[in-house]
Amino acid sequence: MTDPNAIQPSALDQLPDRDPEETAEWQASLDAVAKAAGPHRAAYLMRRTLERAEGTGIALPKLLETDYVNTIPTSAEPSVPGDEAMESRITAWNRWNAAAMVTRGSKHGVGGHIATFASAAWLYETGFNHFFQGKEADGSGDQLYIQGHASPGIYARAFLDGRLNEDHLDNFRQESGGNGLPSYPHPRRLPWLWEFPTVSMGLGPLSAIYQARFNRYLTARGIKDVSNSHVWAFLGDGEMDEPESTAALALASREGLDNLTFVINCNLQRLDGPVRANFKIVQELEAQFRGAGWNVVKTLWGTAWDELFQLDTTGALVRRLREVPDAQVQTYQTRDAAYIRQDFFGTDPALVEMAKLLSDDKILECFHLSRGGHEARKVYAAYKAAVEFKGAPTVILAQTVKGFTLGEGFASKNANHQMKKLTVDEFKAMRDLLELPIKDSDFVDGVVPYGHPGADSPEVRYLQERRAALGGPAPARRVHPVAPLPAPAEKAFASFDKGSGSQNVATTMAFVRLIKDLVRDKETGKRWVPIVPDEARTFGMESLFPSLGIYSPKGQTYEPVDRDQLMYYKEAKNGQILNEGITEAGSMADFIAASTAYSTHGEAMIPFYIFYSMFGWQRTADQMWQLGDQLGRGFLIGATAGRTTLTGEGLQHADGHSPVIAATNPAALTYDPAFAYEVATIVKDGLRRMYGEAAPGEDPNVFYYLTVYNEPLPQPAKPSGLGIDEGIVKGLYRFNTAESAGVTVAAANAPRIQLLGSGTAIHWTLQAQQLLAEEWGVAADVWSATSWTELRRDALEADAALLRGEERVPYVRQALQGAEGPVLAVSDYMRQVPDQIAQWVEQDYSSLGADGFGLSDTREAARRHFGIDAHSIVVAALAQLAKRGEVKATAVKEAREKYGL
């Protein structure tokens, strides 16, 4: 039986030992220390030795955890420039007004959060006074990802510096009147203040990493030098459980993003209770970030703890701090000195002796008040260390108390996230604690007053002077006066108008060909940002590799295996393509950063992100919503689209619903183009609207979602006639009639039907047009429905106009006006997609679609399975006409039997 205490073999046993005697001496020394001074002393010496080795450049694995103490010792802390007493008064006003705003709003039932900002006030104030660069210098400044639940504190500071007034604060979470403040950071609702929407937790940290990376991309490509911009992401320790929060940590360290700092507010509480009740979240996060290659700075304890650490000659205090679980630390926050003496100090004789030297007041000061995240000096030291560290991103783990300064009813209580107000007595106690000059008489009818020292007070002057020195207000969003981008040469778009002749071309390939031409444009070509999640070859984009290059901060340090081929894999420091690997979330974060560069950096960039349509909206719809919130612009391309086009891939790849999800996003313009010329027309109009001259009433802050297919088919020429381009953009136009299609219908007064098809489904619709004429004597007109969603939105706007007394007819009704017979709509998506327009079509309306799960089979078999192939369309059309008495009822049964349906 193996001795469990025996030293087990390790990887080092495989290496030759050049001096076994020396190795034995080191091991004997370690054994001697452990025996004489205890294992804790031995462990301490080993850690210090490893730190020494790391500091001198010796390649060793890094320690993943350090003791539960501050990374920066008190003796190494720099002094805080400026006036700490003044900053303390400013912070007190901000604390007061944040709590007052939420409490006053609670009378209207709109809710709000107080405890988060109360814990993080110094984390923000120190940054605003000393670190966060504004936009008035180079137009970019720093990018601040503010923790969503801390927004009342940011509003309170904007109130203090004159950017908001009492009316704004009184309309917190009451936006319909036009003078309100959104609950959380929302650029679409308060576009002059907020840059980044962050309250969908987990998306802030992910986006911050890719924003810092995109800043490097802009600089490397010579678009704009933003090397002075720093990205700050303020996060909650509970938020770090979201998988997106840590999804890109390795990317940040791999690319050396030292322009990025995470500040994690470790108040040890999430929404319902402790983050890690039986464990230590700070230690867990430290190991996670160190393992990913980040620089970690822990700011845990305030200056009151210095005396305790000086007394800790045996290491017992440090050991005890490591072993006490977070939930117990939270309990200490609410208990008296006697309890802490017994439960914390009473577990070790050395600690018992230490406690005898401490007064009750000292113990309560340490355990109730003194946290690193609540002291300007501690926070300043951490921030300074972060911005000065080179070669890797930094995470600051700042320990705080949730609900700090709000009184005993709030601090560290499990329910404080849901607590929306303080009583008048609690406010008075808070006033006394913060030493604010607010009188009892200022509480009129029990309403807590806002506090302001005056527009010309020393506090406001100091605040504004500090911001002026740092480049202006923050946070702030600016849309710089950028001239519209010139339209690309018409030739790039017109080349698709003639069709492909006898050549089979899928619309995915047509889009890629269009992009190849557009990136060559002398004026706007460099503005394109191609983004792909490791599927470029699937979409036929490999030809862009050698011409545009794949962005890599290291360039290409190897010889690619396909270097002798024309389309070899080329990475470059100034590469234009962002090829992200298998991460739709990372690709979307790229897209968001690029699509908002017009406001973040004053540089209009044109991103297109191409992906398997099944793995776009379904997987990252929350980020698409974030994109809309952030007023992003660009093109999302759902390639290999549709439920029946990916032969053999099965239900997990068969997208029959992405347009449904996209339709829920008000900022998404969703198109399902059938032909190459439609793709070109939509992209051309999108460039005009988002980057050129938007028409009156058009919102340029939109993004386009185009579904394109991998089914190679002949691309027809663009029909001639007026209104084709308008119809393509608005969502519907008549592609042909039975007569213009040249189909032969025996009877002069033959029954007629209108067939509406979108995307690849229009090809089966055209086949059905032939069959209906040749085999059933029915004339069918075929329409291309490029956007069911845009047709619906136009109709909804027309309905709203009617309620206002304005006469307006929906475009879909105008387009179909006078069209004979019923309407049958067909798509490769679930019927819910074409059914969006049903209520505005005056003719009898029915639809066919691919509802249910996908399956692996040939395209023909899959379409027969869902009942959307040409034969199924014929049967459905005959059923519509039979219902109207325009064909014999027996025709439907005959058709079913004939086609084996």
553-609 confidence digits (pLDDT tens): 999 999 998 888 888 889 999 999 999 989 999 999 999 999 999 999 999 999 999
249-263: average pLDDT: 97
Does residue 544 contact residue 709 with C-beta atoms inside 8 Å?
no
Sign of CA pseudo-dihedral 29, 33, 35, 39: negative
The structure's pTM equals: 0.94
Judged against a pLDDT cut of 90, whether residue 1 lies above it is answered with: no
Residue 413 pLDDT level (bands cut at 50, 70, 90):
low
**Continuous segment of H or E residues that includes residue 762:** helix 761-776
Highest mean pLDDT among 167-181, 569-583, 666-680: 666-680
Mean pLDDT of 147-163: 96
Which H helix or E strand runs over 668?
strand 668-671
pLDDT tens digits for 133-149? 999 988 899 999 999 99
Q: What is the DSSP letter of 440?
A: G
Nearest-angstrom CA–CA distance, 824 and 883? 13
User: What is the rounded distance in angstroms from the CA atom of residue 741 to the CA atom of residue 425?
Assistant: 82
Backbone angles phi and psi of 606, in degrees to 5: -115, 90
Residue 440 CB neighbours (<10 A): 8
CA 765 to chain centre: 39
pLDDT at residue 165 is higher than 50: yes
Confidence band (pLDDT; 50, 70, 90) for 39? confident
What local confidence, expressed as pLDDT, does residue 414 receive? Answer: 54
Strands (E), 307-421: 394-399
pLDDT at 482: 67
**Residue 291, Cβ density class (10 Å: 0-12 exposed, 13-18 middle, ≥19 buried):** middle
CA distances from 791 to 28, 533, 613, 634 (A): 81, 31, 21, 21
- Which percentage of the chain shows pLDDT scores above 90? 78
The partner residues of 430 in beta bridges, in order of sequence, read: none
pLDDT band for position 757 (cuts 50, 70, 90): very high
Q: Answer whether 557's CB lies under 8 Å from 575's CB.
A: no
Rounded CA-CA distance 659/807 in Å is 30
* 55 pLDDT higher than 60: yes
- In this prediction, residues 524-535 reach a mean pLDDT of 93
**Which letter does DSSP use for residue 3 in this model?**
-
Cα–Cα dist 867/856, whole Å: 16
Is residue 161's pLDDT more than 90? Answer: yes
Measured between alpha carbons, how far is residue 38 from residues 28, 33, 68, 159, 346 in Å?
Answer: 14, 7, 19, 57, 20
Give CA–CA dist 880/846, Å, rounded: 8
Q: Read out DSSP for 210-269?
A: HHHHHHHHHHHTTS---TT--EEEEEETGGGGSHHHHTTHHHHHHTT-TTEEEEEEE-SB
* Tally of residues, the chain: 901
Find the range with the poorest average confidence among 314-323, 411-420, 607-616, 715-724.
Answer: 411-420
Write down the pLDDT at residue 14: 54
Is 888 within 8 Å of 882 (Cβ atoms)?
yes
Return the sign of the alpha-carbon dihedral for residues 877, 883, 888, 892.
positive
Residue 311 pLDDT > 80: yes
Q: Say how many C-beta atoms besides its own lie within 10 A of residue 887's C-beta.
A: 23
Measure the CA–CA gap between 141 and 644, rounded to whole angstroms. 48
| 72-81, 226-235, 413-422: least confident range | 413-422
CA dist 275 and 91 (Å) reads 27
The predicted pLDDT at position 2 comes to: 44
Q: Is 201 helix (H, G, I), strand (E, B) or coil?
A: coil
pLDDT of residue 34: 85
Of 117, 138, 100, nearest to 230 (Cα)?
A: 138
Does residue 702 or residue 108 have the better pLDDT?
702
Give the pLDDT confidence score for residue 51 in this predicted structure: 77
431-450 average pLDDT score: 93
CA atoms in the 13 A half-sphere facing the CB of 474: 34
Report which of 510, 496, 489 is spatially closest to residue 724, judged by C-alpha positions: 496
Residue 7 pLDDT > 80, yes or no? no
Q: Dig out the tokens for 414 from the structure.
A: 């499990």
Tokens 């108008």 belong to residue: 497
CA end-to-end distance (rounded Å), the chain: 71
* % helix, strand, coil for the chain, step of 5: 45, 10, 45
CA–CA distances in Å: residue 92 to residues 153, 721, 779: 11, 69, 78
Of 536 and 477, the structure prediction assigns the larger pLDDT to 477
Q: What is the pLDDT of residue 411?
A: 61
Tell me the average pLDDT across 628-635: 97
> What DSSP line would sit under 787-842, residue for residue?
-HHHHHHHHHHHHHHHHTT-----HHHHHHTT--S-EEEE-SS-TTTGGGGGGG--
The pLDDT of residue 132 is above 70: yes
Supply the DSSP string of 301-317, one letter for each residue: B-GGGHHHHHH-SSSHH
Map residue 883 onto helix, strand or coil. Answer: helix
Q: Do residues 87 and 127 lie in contact, with contact meaning Cβ atoms separated by under 8 Å?
A: no
pLDDT of residue 8: 47
Which of 419-423, 686-690, 879-883 has the weakest average pLDDT?
A: 419-423
* CA 287 and chain centroid, separation: 25
- Alpha helices per DSSP H over 483-564: 490-494, 507-518, 544-548
Q: Cβ of 897: how many Cβ atoms within 10 Å?
A: 9
Judged by average pLDDT, the poorest of 363-377, 676-690, 735-749, 875-889 is 735-749
The residues, ordered by sequence, that sit 6+ positions from 357 with a Cβ below 8 Å of its Cβ are 311
Q: What is the pLDDT of residue 48?
A: 82
Q: What is the mean pLDDT of the chain?
A: 92
